[in-house]
Amino acid sequence: MSTGARSGVLVAYVSRNGSTAEIAETIGKEMEPIGIEAVVMPAEDVSDVIPFDEGNLGSSVYAWRLEKSAVDFARRHAANLRSMPAWLFAAGYWTDPQIREN
């Protein structure tokens, strides 16, 4: 494990059609005015979360499920994410499967 100082906030995302990527970019941009450095990147490009002060993971949702690669990312980095503030955001079309149109 790295003993170097952590810096900034990671906003990693898995986006099938681009909407979750747009949300991740917006989160990163909203941090700039308050002096927080955010690194926004696809989860598949993240090799390590240790360099960051905080971790954020976004996933698109289909059929009531997070993207498999987002779940894999969370599992792969779980030990290190537990040592920092970590957040999950999800974007998708949410409906109640019990509600049916007449």
Within a domain: 101: no
Cα–Cα separations (whole angstroms), residue 97 to 12, 61, 63, 100: 29, 14, 10, 7
CATH number of the domain that 36 lies in?
Answer: 3.40.50.360
Within a domain: 59: yes
- The CA distance from 92 to 15, in Å, is 10
User: Which range of residues forms the domain containing residue 73?
Assistant: 9-92
Within a domain: 2: no
Place of tokens 């949702």: 61
Q: Indicate the number of domains in the chain.
A: 1
Please report the pLDDT score of residue 42 as a whole number.
98
Write down the pTM of the prediction.
0.84
Within a domain: 37: yes
pLDDT at 5 over 70: no
Within a domain: 97: no
Within a domain: 99: no
Within a domain: 55: yes
- The CA distance from 11 to 45, in Å, is 11
Q: Are 17 and 60 in contact (CB under 8 A)?
A: yes
Please report the pLDDT score of residue 6 as a whole number.
63
Within a domain: 34: yes
pLDDT at 43 over 70: yes
